[in-house]
Amino acid sequence: MDSDKYVWIPRDLGFTKDIAVALLARFGCPYKPLFSDEPAGDEIRAQVEVLIAKEHTVNKATLEPWPNARLVSCAFTGIDGVDQAMCRDRGTAVYFVPDYSKTAVAELAVGLTIAVLRKLVQADKDARAGCWDRAVAPGIELHGKTVGIVGTGLIGCESAKRFVAFGCRILGWSRTAREAFVAAGGQYVNDIQALLREADVVVLHLPASAETHRYIDAAKFAAMKPSAVLINVARAAIVDTTALVEALRKHRIAGAGIDVFDTEPLTSTVHPLQSLGNAVLCPHIGFKTDVSLNRLREAAIENIGRFTRGDAKNRLIP
């Protein structure tokens, strides 16, 4: 048995061995890469000290095959699926990557907003079918609209910058006020109901937690304008899906752009949102751009280097 120490890497994260070796060396990580599709007997498993977790769940089953894992480097931002108590009891440190996709997600928030307001999905279908009917209902301009951003963390601030560029008025509600949000052109309101009453577009950037579970419910949809649009590029759990479907069907709100779902992936034609023409749906692609995925891979390795030298940045569990 050799004395090498390993970092286990999911193959579908997009690393090649050469890239992994180069990044590990660059960030001073004393580990060799072991990819998920490589054979690993008990001896090798015992030498794995670091796991890179791609899925959003880190629990007992994740760590059970790796008796000497000292670190889980999460290749994702949302930490609601991490069993923090279990990791702490086990003595396994956890790092995560909070900002790798902030630009990508903010851009999709704007893109979904325009897709809903300008009815781009239907326009594409019409053009492909040769339908050139000028009598159809016109789209709605984003310029001059009030955008309410619920959750003004890193991604919320990035969204504010982009909506300001479209000439929008920006309102924000969050548990913690941030100077960056105000600097981006946002204005905080003290009451979420006030934001919902005034906003033409409501953009969700809240994390999933016990406090935010089903936070956007029937009562909050009732507070929104009938002409308002909801954009969710955060977590499905923060919206009551049944209430959303009801609001869209009965036109209590005008439309929605949704990138996240309670169960993923969707099975074709069974989710109630799939049958609604006033909803634009994406298969959870907010994080998925060329630049953000490269940044993710690099950040996951960089956090291993931080752990090695005792740097607390991006550390969730010591």
Assess whether 252 carries a catalytic annotation: no
Q: Which amino acid is at 34?
A: L
Residue 106, token pair as written in the block: 């903010």
Which tokens is 284 given?
């959870």
Catalytic residue among 45, 90, 284, 315: 284
Q: Which of 162, 235, 271, 295 is catalytic?
A: 235
Q: Is 264 in the active site? A: yes
- Quickly state the pLDDT bin for 1 (edges 50, 70, 90): very low
Q: What is the fold of 102-281?
A: Rossmann fold (3.40.50)
Average pLDDT over residues 85-99: 96
102-281: same fold as 6-100+291-317?
Answer: yes
What pLDDT score was predicted for residue 44? 94
pLDDT mean across residues, the chain: 95
Give the model's pLDDT for residue 141. Answer: 98
Q: Domain residues of the chain, as ranges?
A: 6-100+291-317, 102-281
CA distance 286 to 284: 6
d(CA 253, CA 221): 7
Does 90 qualify as catalytic in the annotation? no
Catalytic residue among 38, 55, 211, 264: 264
**CATH match of 6-100+291-317 with 3.40.50.720:** yes
pLDDT tens digit sequence for 201-250: 999 999 999 999 999 999 999 999 999 999 999 999 999 999 999 999 99
